[in-house]
Amino acid sequence: MGLFSRSKGVVGLDVGSFAVKLVELKERKGGEYQLQRLGIEPLSPEAIVDGSIMDSSLVVDAIQKLGEETAVKNANFATSLSGHSVIIKKIDLPAMAPEELAESIQWEAEQYIPFDINDVKLDYVLLDEQAQADQMEVLLVAVKRDKVNDYVSVIQQAGRAAALVDIDSFAVQNCYEANYDIDPMKVLALVNMGSSVTNINILARGSTVFWRDISFGGNQFTEALQREFNLSFEQAESLKRGESVDRYSAADARSVLDTVSGEMAAEIQKTFDFFGATSSEGAVDELIVSGGCALTPNLVDALKDRFGLPTELMNPFRRIQIKESDFDIAWIQSVAPMLAVSVGLAIRRIGD
Ligand SMILES: Nc1ncnc2c1ncn2[C@@H]1O[C@H](COP(=O)(O)OP(=O)(O)OP(=O)(O)O)[C@@H](O)[C@H]1O
Ligand SMILES: [Mg+2]
């Protein structure tokens, strides 16, 4: 931690392409958390496309609206990115002192990053110093600089500070760790299914061993319904949630959704296969799913059938106190999986 960076709480702001989610938590004695503020603001589908901010004014408006609705005072926001512009690699380096590592990481990184090193922001985490006596394991994180700037800029234009920029997958992991006891003997796949991207983070012995973002999510389900029944985006969104639209009912939607669920399972399977082929950790034992797309009717069961593994919908508020007098708990529970990233961010502290 830096000399001047007192450890301070942040507001979690998940700028997703379907919706912007805001969560603020209060840490209580004994490391417990209590929900302070929560808001979800949908974005029009043209605001963020494939993880790129296309219409920043729509995103700024959504952040401002959330700020007003929740009356959040803390101006320090934490946000996160995912998708193509994020590269995460585990690399082995010869053992060296921390200062030496800090100096040489840029140079070391060049051979692992498929972008011009000057176009990325680099970060790294020392994973296992004692893996082998003369080696150390480092998790290298590189994010395209212009992408970071775009996300920081919408937060600033909304009158807040981007105190911390994280990665979606790591925020999901943070959320899971805060709410569940991790069995270090198990290989867990955290699968966060959003609208345009699905973040897969495989944990073994309690830490990340494999990471991948795939371009598949809730949009694929919505688009399939649009095509099949000739509907607008909004109509297809409603139908997907089980509402009737025109003459179409949830039952009509079901076979279309099940087909896309099969495709989603196949995409996840590819990632698991690749993990199995390149890692010595053994096969995945359990799936923990989150993200709004995880609420798609029958999707969790389809994954359970496909993989034949325990598959659980993550509850980001499992260990977070929510005052009944302040919040609509039934509503929060019904959207909870969408909030895994924002809860994970809200737990972060400046100076982490
Ligand atoms: N009850 C529901 N039933 C089915 N799908 C739902 C439900 N609620 C949300 N979704 C879907 O979840 C997706 C949004 O999830 P989420 O908020 O996690 O994505 P995002 O973070 O905005 O997107 P991304 O991270 O991909 O940019 C949308 O595709 C939406 O249609
Ligand atoms: Mg998301």
pLDDT averaged per 10 residues in sequence order, the chain, 352 residues? 58 98 92 95 96 97 98 97 88 90 89 88 81 82 94 98 95 97 96 98 93 96 98 97 95 97 98 93 96 98 98 98 97 98 95 66
Range of the domain at 341: 1-85+145-180+318-352
What atom in ligand 1 is closest to the CA of residue 240? Answer: 4
| Residues 26 and 159 reside in one and the same domain | yes
> Could you tell me which residues come within 8 angstroms of residue 201 by beta carbon, excluding any fewer than 6 positions away?
169, 170, 172, 173, 189, 190, 192, 208, 210, 211
Which ligand has an atom closest to residue 297 CA? Answer: 1
| Residues 164 and 51 reside in one and the same domain | yes
Please give the helix or strand (H or E) that residue 128 lies within, else none.
strand 120-132
Looking at residue 6, its pLDDT comes to: 47
- The length of the chain in residues reads 352
Looking at residue 131, its pLDDT comes to: 56
Q: Residue with the nearest Cα to atom 15 of ligand 1?
A: 292
Looking at residue 132, its pLDDT comes to: 66
Distance between Cα 262 and ligand 2 center (Å): 21
CB atoms within 10 A of CB 149: 12
What CATH number does the domain containing 169 carry? 3.30.420.40
pTM, full prediction: 0.94
On whether residue 300 sits in a domain, the answer given is yes
Looking at residue 1, its pLDDT comes to: 36
| Residues 172 and 254 reside in one and the same domain | no
Looking at residue 7, its pLDDT comes to: 59
For ion ligand 2, residues whose CB falls within 5 Å: 16, 194
On whether residue 351 sits in a domain, the answer given is yes
On whether residue 236 sits in a domain, the answer given is yes
Distance between Cα 16 and ligand 2 center (Å): 5
Which ligand has an atom closest to residue 43 CA? Answer: 1
| Residues 31 and 169 reside in one and the same domain | yes
On whether residue 137 sits in a domain, the answer given is no
Q: Which of 295, 298, 335, 345 to mutate to test the pocket of ligand 1 (most atoms within 8 A of CB)?
A: 295
| Residues 196 and 301 reside in one and the same domain | yes
| Residues 227 and 289 reside in one and the same domain | yes
| Residues 80 and 219 reside in one and the same domain | no
| Residues 175 and 202 reside in one and the same domain | no
Distance between Cα 309 and ligand 2 center (Å): 24
Task: Give which of 39, 40, 80 is closest to 344, Cα–Cα.
Answer: 80
Looking at residue 352, its pLDDT comes to: 61
| Residues 213 and 173 reside in one and the same domain | no
Looking at residue 311, its pLDDT comes to: 98
| Residues 69 and 175 reside in one and the same domain | yes
Specify burial of residue 97 (Cβ count, 10 A radius: 0-12, 13-18, 19+).
exposed
Q: Residue with the nearest Cα to atom 9 of ligand 1?
A: 292
Looking at residue 267, its pLDDT comes to: 97
Q: Which of 82, 232, 338, 343 to mutate to test the pocket of ligand 1 (most atoms within 8 A of CB)?
A: 338
Amino acid at residue number 206: G
| Residues 293 and 196 reside in one and the same domain | yes
Specify burial of residue 57 (Cβ count, 10 A radius: 0-12, 13-18, 19+).
exposed
On whether residue 90 sits in a domain, the answer given is no
On whether residue 297 sits in a domain, the answer given is yes
Distance between Cα 33 and ligand 2 center (Å): 22
Which ligand has an atom closest to residue 40 CA? Answer: 1
Pocket of ligand 1 (CB under 6 A): 14, 16-19, 194-197, 217-219, 222, 237, 240-241, 291-293, 295-296, 338
Task: Give which of 260, 289, 285 is closest to 198, Cα–Cα.
Answer: 289
Tokens for 198, please give them: 């699905």
Domain count, the chain: 2
Distance between Cα 217 and ligand 1 center (Å): 8
Distance between Cα 320 and ligand 1 center (Å): 22
On whether residue 307 sits in a domain, the answer given is yes
| Residues 157 and 236 reside in one and the same domain | no
On whether residue 262 sits in a domain, the answer given is yes
Distance between Cα 109 and ligand 1 center (Å): 34
